[in-house]
Amino acid sequence: MRNSVAAAMAALIGLAPMTAIAVQPPAGAPSAPTTPAAPTPSGAPLAPGAPLPADQLEAFVDGVVRTAMARDHIAGVEVSVVQDGRIVLAKGYGFAGPGGRPVDPDRTLFRIGSVSKTFTWIAALREVEAGRMALDAPINRYLPPRLAAPDVPGWRQIELRDLMTHSPGFEDRPLDRLFELDPARIRPLASQLVLARPARVFPPGTTPAYSNYGAELAGAAVANLEHASFQTVVEREIIGPLGMAHTTFREPYAPRADLPAPMPAGLAADAATGYRWVSGGFVAEPYEYVTQGAPAGAGSSTAGDMARYMLAMLAGGRLDGQTIYGPATAVALFTPLPRTDAPGDIPMDHGFMRFALPGGFVGHGHDGDTIWFHSGMVMVPDLKLGVFVTTNTDTGERLASELPPLIVGRFYAPPPAAPLPGAPALAKQAAVYAGTYITNRRPFSGLEKFVFLALGQARLTVTPDGRLLTPGLDGWRAWTPAGAAGRFRRVDGPQVTSFQLVGGRARRWYSASGVSSFDRAGPVYALNNLLLVLAASLVAIAATLAGPLIRRGRGLPETGVQRAASRIQVGAALLWLAALVALALFTSGARDQARLLANWPEPAIVIGASAALLAALASWVALGLTAFAWWGDEGWGAWRKLRFSATSILLALLGLQLALWGALEPWAT
């Protein structure tokens, strides 16, 4: 479920009063969501009030989708576009299952990933409107005691607003049963919240770090207040009233007494298969179960149903005579909800993400990913427009991200201008921003910490002409200073990113998504430094193992302590070699997300961590014996002592660095 390194498209606009989501709407509140009117962009094909020409829209979408399907090898796609109370386009492309089953935009269910969270936030805001929940009350107030988030001395309790802005302060442990490929391993939501409870690592409200667990807590709170399963609540309050007959949060498993009822057979027969492009062909993959974290990402839907969902939200929660929420929620969904303590970051709506779009327009919605499916939903109130796109292949993330802004840009924005120039002054201050940054959406202990420290680093650089470069889905993204110190605008788009400066140097980077942040890495946690220590250690290990073979039969003098120290160091070198081989085998496949999620913890990383722990202990013992190896004039010569000492220091340093990275904790998986 999305928001990976450098997720883009968010913008900062004016803040509305926090009372906008009071139990009763403020006097004069509109009955439908509004945003400040965007000016008509000069040179745009259409004015903001002009409707999309259906034939031109379809031709444009056809071109974008078919190009992306060929470029990225995507098996199937669904798209729906709504505007001004009507469905302008609902279309399927490609195939949805073995045998070439075609995609039907009204029947074929695609996984919508974290777009599911929008249902969760609407359900929570309904409780706020009813007076049963409050944004600034501890979420624990609405949870059974065993599900309550633990207190941390000196920190306030986590509130609903923190969950909605992805700043509850939890670490993230996606390897802890976020997805299941074996239905027998599915856990009830309550069990998942207890058994996969992450540590609290930041004070609430201070650090954007996308949190599936936070959404799960919110969904569990709603279910607890409604005395029903989360799936039942969503069906009763949103899906059913809106007539979304091909949408469900249930999944196709055998009935179990401890789980909600499974997906009806009729819907299961229409569920799309997930695919991976491998060696020039599509490989069908098993179903991804998310019932254990249903409020965060268990939804499945069609383009047609998601069109009805967007129409309802653009009409203030009303569709075909049904009203699923009141005026206060209608305003809140498209209104920024400030984080209480974090300065300088990009805002979110009440659980909805904000997207900076071409032409100066602001979109509201969410993106979403499972392992195989990628989706995006963006609504633009100024244009009375909604766009939904979903794909069933692991390569579909780029299309899901780019189609909504492409539609807005094609019809409601002027032709792209020349990229903004760099700032020569920035080039002279490159060290302020350039460096390695580590995502705050990660585990903070154990072997998962080690994996995500290696995979979750971003290298930011500054070009000689004064452009900041950050990594993104489509390659490097360039930014130029805009306004206050630490604030940047993309040179070829409207997105904004920012930094927290401490002592004149960037300490934290807030990505343009508004739901993630990265802290500057110190020397110990910089991946390049670890690789440098590993390279030097490999040379030392090779020399240590070659030494006994070279000295064999030569009868060189050594004391008893030196003999013992030498044997310990050779043993450490053998253990290090075994550990590094096992870890190399693991890391060779670690970027295969499905394998990592489904098989965690793989034997290779447990074996590697166990061998590394023993190797580190042996290396530290050898380091402790170094002083004794130098004692007296007997035994080794000075050159042998220097080699032993240097190797002891280097291997002990490797052990210390891996310990700080969490790689010496084979029990912590």
* Positive/negative CA dihedral, 203, 205, 206, 210: positive
Sequence length of the chain is 669
With CA atoms as reference, report the closest residue to 314 among 48, 15, 83.
83
pLDDT number for residue 558: 78
pLDDT number for residue 635: 80
Judged on CB neighbours under 10 Å (0-12, 13-18, 19+), 246 is buried
Q: Are 299 and 111 in contact (CB under 8 A)?
A: yes
Per-residue exposure over 537-557, b if at least 16 CB sit within 10 Å of its own CB, e if not: beebbeebeebeeeeeeeeee
Judged on CB neighbours under 10 Å (0-12, 13-18, 19+), 152 is middle
pLDDT number for residue 345: 60
Does residue 381 have a cis bond before it (omega within 30 degrees)? no
Q: Which fold has domain 59-252+260-336+347-410?
A: Beta-lactamase (3.40.710)
With CA atoms as reference, report the closest residue to 13 among 41, 37, 49, 48.
37
pLDDT tens sequence across 173-224: 988 888 999 999 999 999 999 999 999 999 999 999 999 999 999 999 999 9
Rounded Cα–Cα distance for residues 180 and 178 (Å): 7
Every domain of the chain and the residues it spans: 59-252+260-336+347-410, 424-521, 527-661
Strand-pairing partners, residue 389, are 79, 376
Taking 50 as the pLDDT cut, the residues of the chain under it are 2-38
Q: Which residues contact 265 (CB under 8 A, 6 or more apart)?
A: none
Rounded Cα–Cα distance for residues 332 and 337 (Å): 8
pLDDT number for residue 388: 98
Q: Which residues contact 65 (CB under 8 A, 6 or more apart)?
A: 77, 79, 93, 399, 403
Rounded Cα–Cα distance for residues 465 and 447 (Å): 41
Rounded Cα–Cα distance for residues 381 and 388 (Å): 15
Rounded Cα–Cα distance for residues 34 and 582 (Å): 56
Percent of the chain with pLDDT over 70: 91
Sheet holding 86-97, edge to edge: 101-102, 86-97, 76-83, 385-391, 374-380, 362-369, 353-356
88-92 LR contacts (CB < 8 Å, sep 24+)? 88/51, 88/52, 88/54, 88/57, 89/54, 89/57, 89/58, 89/61, 90/303, 90/304, 90/307, 91/58, 91/61, 91/62, 91/303, 92/303
Q: Are 200 and 169 in contact (CB under 8 A)?
A: yes
What six digits make up the tokens of 377?
A: 């939903």
With CA atoms as reference, report the closest residue to 344 among 501, 135, 162, 211.
501
Cα Rg for the chain, rounded, in angstroms? 28
pLDDT number for residue 200: 97
pLDDT number for residue 17: 23
The span from the first CA to the last CA of the chain, in angstroms, equals 21
pLDDT number for residue 28: 32
Q: Which residues contact 666 (CB under 8 A, 6 or more apart)?
A: 447, 606, 609, 610, 613
| DSSP assigned state of 583 | H
- Amino acid occupying residue 270: D
Phi, psi of 67 (to 5 degrees): -65, -45
Phi, psi of 362 (to 5 degrees): -115, 125
pLDDT number for residue 586: 86
- Amino acid occupying residue 616: A
pLDDT tens sequence across 424-473: 999 999 999 999 999 999 999 999 999 889 888 899 999 999 999 998 87
